[in-house]
Amino acid sequence: MAFRFLRVLPAILLAILVLSPIAIFPKPAWALGLSPPAVTVDSLLRGTTQKRTVTLFRAPNEEGNIFIHVKPETSTGNFIVGGEDDIVILDGQDRIDYEFEIGTGDVANGKYKTRLVFLKTVDPNASLSGSGVSIVSGVAVKVVLTVGGEEHLSYRLLQLSSGTTEVGRDIDVSYMISNDGNVEWRIQKIRFDFQDGFTNEVVASYEVKGDALEPVKAGEQGQKFDLKLPIILQEGRYGVTATFYYQDEEAGILKLDDNFQVFPEGTLAQSGVLNGLSLNKTIFCPGEKIKLDAIFKNDGAIALGAVLFVQMSRNSEVIDLIRGSEYAVEKGEEMIFSQLLDAQALGLYEIEGYVEYGKKKSNIQKISFEVQDKVVDETGTNLPGVVGKVGSTVDSYVGLLILIILIILGTVCFILIKHHRRKRELPEPQPLVKVEETETTIAIPQEIVEVPEPVSPVVLPIDKNKQQ
């Protein structure tokens, strides 16, 4: 049985490697997005600076914090004289604005080009072996500037805005201006006129002199300026018109797009949040009572009275609007508002709930349930689930460690299988036989040599004449 498991284990390990690339292999190096890709300064007077802003974007599939190191190119001159060295696009943000300052340095009048490079790096606080900065990818903005030229003023009035306030407080207003010229613009004065939100009649005016206003810097786009106007307005809705003056002449007018609200005194200290809705079940029979619980928290600075409102819809059609009882909720207190609902008809229902407190309304929460002839199970309740992103990306270093462990396990299994097979192929060893010690006479056969028969001597006849 163990041998069979060892035989299939390599296949299992291979399947894990093929089906789990996200958890095993390092994350890809996503590119940065940049807008605009080039910045132009048409006229930069010597000894002055101008600010510009670019926007960096994360890749759509990239998660977590993105750390960026900013490096100006200095081979053509030191034109980038201001800006942060390191920035971070936080998890949950899809972009970040980067503002930098451009100066002339010591160069002569003329046209110049330079670059500002944005390099993605690893988390500087991460525990990594080795030293130095690990560069992942980068992007660069091209900067074209012209040093010199004549002074000229060019501006654009962009936007006027105002925030919610209450009786007895100053009025917060903001205006936005772009300066396309190469010199500062100093506004002479601004007159603010407040109109009734229903009759458009001017009910109050306030004037701000130029010495209380910040200058509009040269060459900067979308500069925002905030003011607090010490003017008292009664409860209601108001519109605003701002008239700008320069050299005793009207330079332009901005109007508020949407009227702002002035609440009764103490309203802004009220704050609450509806944290969620829950039901006793999610599937009901016709006529069965439905219990709705709403969790509301007073996170403001004062106690408040709160009322739960419930809107119930069936098959996307509103069928009921319910107002609950009012309760006093102390500062920092979390309270559960309960409401019984009734649903007779079959179908899918959706509930929208919110809480009204003082002059304000909380966020809206939604929940749904179903009415059936027969309940599917005994309780009709949902099993508890886990909220989160399934299969979130595992850190690449952990993935590499897993890969190494799997390779080692596969190698060990291969060696064990091979050894087992070799052992099976060897012949069974013969049993050992005990041999008794005895004296043995070994007869060595001698080689037989054939000896030829002796040859008889030849007798020659004697010549008698020769003997004489």
Residues 258 and 311 in one domain: no
Beta bridge partners of 280: none
Last residue of a domain, one of 309, 344, 371: 371
Would you say residue 448 lies in a domain? Answer: no
Question: Where residue 47 sits, what CATH number does that domain have?
Answer: 2.60.40.10
Would you say residue 457 lies in a domain? Answer: no
Query: Please, what's the b/e burial string for 384-405 (b: 16 or more CB within 10 A of its CB; e: otherwise)?
Result: eeeeeeeeeeeeeeebeebbee
Residues 174 and 101 in one domain: no
H or E segment to which residue 240 belongs: strand 236-246
Residues 213 and 245 in one domain: yes
At residue 467, the 3 state secondary structure works out as helix
Residue-level pLDDT at 108:
82
Beta strands in 264-411 (DSSP E): 272-279, 283-284, 289-298, 304-314, 317-329, 334-342, 347-357, 360-361, 365-371
Instruction: Retrieve residue 249's tokens.
Output: 């002449």
User: Measuring CA to CA, how many Å separate 333 from each of 264, 353, 359, 407?
Assistant: 23, 19, 19, 56
Residues 219 and 179 in one domain: yes
Instruction: Retrieve residue 358's tokens.
Output: 């003082």
Would you say residue 391 lies in a domain? Answer: no
Among candidates 286, 288, 335, 338, which has minimal Cα distance to 310?
A: 338
Beta bridge partners of 190: 208, 244
Residue-level pLDDT at 390:
36
User: If 0-12 CB within 10 Å is exposed, 13-18 middle and 19+ buried, where does residue 146 land?
Assistant: middle
Residues 258 and 279 in one domain: no
Residues 128 and 179 in one domain: no
Last residue of a domain, one of 343, 371, 399: 371
At residue 21, the 3 state secondary structure works out as helix
Residues 40 and 116 in one domain: yes
Residues 142 and 163 in one domain: no
Residues 63 and 120 in one domain: yes
pLDDT tens-place values along the chain, 468 residues long: 555 655 655 666 666 655 554 444 445 556 788 999 999 888 888 888 888 899 999 988 888 899 999 999 877 778 888 889 999 999 989 999 999 988 887 788 888 899 999 999 888 776 554 444 455 578 999 999 888 878 888 899 999 999 889 899 999 999 999 998 888 899 999 999 999 999 999 999 999 999 999 999 888 888 999 999 999 899 999 999 999 999 999 999 999 999 999 988 888 888 999 999 999 999 999 989 999 999 999 998 888 899 999 999 998 899 999 999 999 999 999 999 999 998 889 999 999 999 999 878 999 999 999 999 875 544 444 433 333 333 333 445 566 778 788 888 878 877 877 776 776 665 555 555 454 554 544 454 555 545 455 555 554 555 545 444
Distance of CA 13 to the CA centre of its chain: 32
Would you say residue 190 lies in a domain? Answer: yes
The C-alpha atoms of residue 138 and residue 119 are separated, in whole angstroms, by 4
H or E segment to which residue 423 belongs: helix 396-425
Residues 200 and 247 in one domain: yes
Residues 107 and 129 in one domain: yes
Residue-level pLDDT at 246:
95
The C-alpha atoms of residue 299 and residue 136 are separated, in whole angstroms, by 43
Would you say residue 355 lies in a domain? Answer: yes
Would you say residue 388 lies in a domain? Answer: no
Would you say residue 12 lies in a domain? Answer: no
Would you say residue 174 lies in a domain? Answer: yes
The C-alpha atoms of residue 310 and residue 324 are separated, in whole angstroms, by 8
Residue 36, preceding peptide bond in cis (omega within 30° of 0): yes
- Answer yes or no: pTM beyond 0.85: no
Residues 103 and 143 in one domain: yes
Last residue of a domain, one of 117, 147, 177: 147
Instruction: Retrieve residue 337's tokens.
Output: 């508002």
* Domain span including residue 177: 158-263
Q: Please state the domain count of the chain.
A: 3
